Structure 1
Amino acid sequence: MFAAQRKAGVYSAVAVLGLSGGLLGPLGGLLGGSSDSSSSSARPTAAQWKKMGSTSSKWKRVLRKGCHNYAYTYTVKPPGSAGTEWSLETFLTGPRGGRLGSDVILGGADPKHGKKTWRICKSNTVPGTFTIKAKLTYNANPDQYSGWLNASHFRLVKP
């Protein structure tokens, strides 16, 4: 933005001096900066993130020959009003730590609670414990926050 102001020949005290809301304190809002004290919401703690949603899957199933869909469920409870924008990114890791898949669930397009599937092929994994990690992102205008939910696990065993 500073380059655009320079090109137009318009300068503000904030742009010229490089002042931010942190340096200006309460005057930041008056001069176009932002003040930390005027933030509409506080950054969630790790414990709060854990309460904002979850993933789960039937604990023990058979890893069948070929490629098959294995279902999991998700629940999202972002803070804020019903219109809060959110997304949930899910990541599947296999027993040997390899990344096997990912998915994105979007508020406005997907419900806050639902069922999704992973396509898992026996030819590129082994029986064992699989891990689903989930990262929730939501908007608390004007701020955006992202954090990790508790990981969930399931086992695929030999037939």
Structure 2
Amino acid sequence: MLHINKTAFSLAKHARALVAVAVCSLQAAMAGEQASEILRVRVQNRIVLGEAELQNRRFADNEAAMAEFRRNVVTLPRNSSVQLTVELLERGGRYVDVTSHAATEYQSLSPAKLSVSSDGRVTAAPQSESLMGAGGDVAIVVVHDKPAQSAWNKIFFRVLP
């Protein structure tokens, strides 16, 4: 019963994150702005292309798209962590750090494998019996939502077993 409740809670949190992304796009579209403002994300000071950037790129074929995706998956050993730096492009063309801004929210799409704090610290779960062999790609959704500007991105991680 406890496992089902945790799963339901996790699914509810995942649904809220997806709704937040949809609301960001809808608010921007209603305001006459570009519907897909993108947050730039750095991991250990390296720019990582997330889903938002990759969706806007053109690739010669699926193989090229997958190669670019794989280059931007962050590898994280169990029980280790990395710091995200989240940047928002202002109208003047410069990026502003919004990592710890009150309007920036983070959501792990696989909370049993990966957690994220309100200041953007991503931590892989420690090795445990229940997660043995449960490596694989997981993601963090980042949403920055203010009345004047909304933006998002989704960064992928590979958690080593």
TM-score by length of 2: 0.42
In terms of fraction of residues, the more helix-rich structure is: 2
Structure number, greater radius of gyration: 1
More strand by share: 1
Task: Give the TM-score normalised by the residue count of structure 1.
Answer: 0.42
